[in-house]
Structure 1
Amino acid sequence: MNPEQLKLVLETALLCAEQPMTINDLRRLFMEEISTEDMTAALLEVQSAWADKGMELLELATGWRFQSRLAMREYLDRLTPEKPPKYSRAVMETLAIIAYRQPVTRGEIEEIRGVTVSSNVIKQLEDRGWVEVVGHKETVGRPGLYATTRQFLNDLSLTTLQELPMLDDAEAQAASVAQRVIEFEGDQAVAVDQVIDVVDTSSSEEPASVDATDNIENNEKTND
């Protein structure tokens, strides 16, 4: 298959897809074998071709996807009167802590925030598909260890957690996650500058891998 035809098929499939598509998914479009290198090169060319359009092609945690650019949101929102859910400060703070400190127990989140984390806060994040229990800490009661999901990465246009800024400042860490959520969801109940002083400044560790279950023992904390 010639390169132009390859790009056309990939572009069409991705525009019609309801979910991100992996390289293996895209290979099923063709009878002949196409190398990963050729497929990736074609996808990058398609991505470049859409650089000045209202849609963009992104590589996410679970594959490639076309999505509208942020600048188009104010226009597209007029087509859908339903407003996105509004998240409280508590929800945003909890999400920021999990994103930067995962895997983390509920008790550790409460120690960092200085207040009790209600079950409703965790439920909102779980129902949204952004956090999940990836294991249990080997301590009294074996509390659940929370981590972000691949859906969280997809929705915030991230491929890996390492794409979150490596910031030492607690305020900047929390604001980084809040800003991405606000951009994704639109009009939110909490502003970026409200989400401050919620991540323990004693550590500047890198975000854990999204497959946090493989490293639970190495990431366990002693302050539960």
Structure 2
Amino acid sequence: MNSAEAKHVLEAALMCSPQPLPVRELRVLFDDALGADSVKALLAELQQEWAQRGLELVSVASGWRFQSRPAMRAYLDRLHPEKPPRYTRAALETLAIIAYRQPATRGDMEEIRGVSINAQVLKQLEDRGWIEVIGHRETVGRPALFATTRQFLDDLGLESLDQLPVVDDPAQRARLLAALAEADPAQAALPMEGDADAAADPGAAALVSPDLAASETAESRP
């Protein structure tokens, strides 16, 4: 099998898969006749070949997948005009704390936010597949430790937590939460520089600030 044929096989598998495929699974397509480096090289060539199309080949936490480019979203939304799930300020603030401070207990989150966190908020994020319990802190009551999941990274189009926007930049954190609020598992991608919609919302930056002003925590208090 030559490289062109191998790329056709990879392309077909990725197009037909509902989930990202890791390199180890893609090697199975070739009965392990191709090494991991060879498969990655073919994937890189495929990326270049799709560079000027409406779809792009990307690597996320769970593997490789095809997804629509951000520029296509306005058009694709016309096929499915229903609104994506909306998340409360409390949910987004809680998720931001977990993403940047993980692993974190409910007590850690409440200390940072300055208000109690409803158990339903954590359940909503768990049901969405964005957070999970990874253990318990060895202290009184052994509180659960929460961390983000591979699904969280996949939905943002990221390979690892290292690719999260730097925590010291409120504008980037605002874009992160804006992406999360409208995330589509099949199409989501973290906004890059130049995407001004989220940053243009002055309230968005406040959502991700770990040290909320007293007036804002008062608004969130039940």
In structure 2, what is the Cα distance between the partners aligned to 1:97 and 1:172? 16
**Residues 54 and 69 of structure 2 are in contact (CA less than 8 Å); yes or no, is this contact kept in structure 1?**
yes
Paired AA for residue 194 in structure 1 = A
In structure 2, what is the Cα distance between the partners aligned to 1:42 and 1:193? 44
Partner of 1:19: 19
Partner of 2:192: none
- Shift of the alpha carbon at 1:182? 4.2
**Residues 136 and 145 of structure 1 are in contact (CA less than 8 Å); yes or no, is this contact kept in structure 2?**
yes
In structure 1, what is the Cα distance between the partners aligned to 2:102 and 2:177? 16
In structure 2, what is the Cα distance between the partners aligned to 1:94 and 1:56? 31
State yes or no: 1:52 paired with 2:76. Answer: no
- Shift of the alpha carbon at 1:118? 0.7
**TM-score, normalised by the number of residues in structure 1:** 0.81
In structure 2, what is the Cα distance between the partners aligned to 1:130 and 1:144? 16
Partner of 2:3: 3
- Shift of the alpha carbon at 1:179? 3.3
Paired AA for residue 28 in structure 1 = V
**Residues 58 and 66 of structure 2 are in contact (CA less than 8 Å); yes or no, is this contact kept in structure 1?**
yes
Paired AA for residue 163 in structure 1 = Q
Partner of 1:194: 204
Q: Which has the larger displacement, 177-186 or 132-141?
A: 177-186
Alignment of 1:71-90 (within 5 A): 71-90=71-90
Paired AA for residue 21 in structure 1 = L
- Shift of the alpha carbon at 1:13? 0.9
**Residues 57 and 64 of structure 1 are in contact (CA less than 8 Å); yes or no, is this contact kept in structure 2?**
yes
Partner of 1:222: none
Q: Deviations over 1:2-46 (max 9, x none)?
A: 111111110111011111111111112124610111100000110
Q: Taking structure 1 as reference, are residues 130 and 70 closer, same or farther at Cα in structure 2, changes over 3 Å only?
A: same
RMSD after superposition: 2.2
**Residues 22 and 62 of structure 2 are in contact (CA less than 8 Å); yes or no, is this contact kept in structure 1?**
yes
In structure 1, what is the Cα distance between the partners aligned to 2:66 and 2:8? 14
After the TM superposition, list the runs of 4 or more consecutive aligned residues in structure 1 that deviate by more than 4 angstroms: 185-188
**TM-score, normalised by the number of residues in structure 2:** 0.82
Partner of 2:174: 175
SS at match of 1:132: strand
Q: Which has the larger displacement, 71-80 or 111-120?
A: 71-80
Tell me: higher relative CO, structure 1 or 2? Use CA pairs within 8 A at least 6 residues apart. Answer: 1
Same amino acid, percent of matched pairs? 55
State yes or no: 1:67 paired with 2:78. Answer: no
Q: Mind listing any 5+ residue stretches in structure 2 that lack a counterpart?
A: 189-196, 213-222
In structure 1, what is the Cα distance between the partners aligned to 2:82 and 2:104? 33
State yes or no: 1:34 paired with 2:44. Answer: no
- Shift of the alpha carbon at 1:181? 1.4
**Residues 89 and 195 of structure 1 are in contact (CA less than 8 Å); yes or no, is this contact kept in structure 2?**
no
**Residues 55 and 66 of structure 2 are in contact (CA less than 8 Å); yes or no, is this contact kept in structure 1?**
yes
Partner of 2:219: none
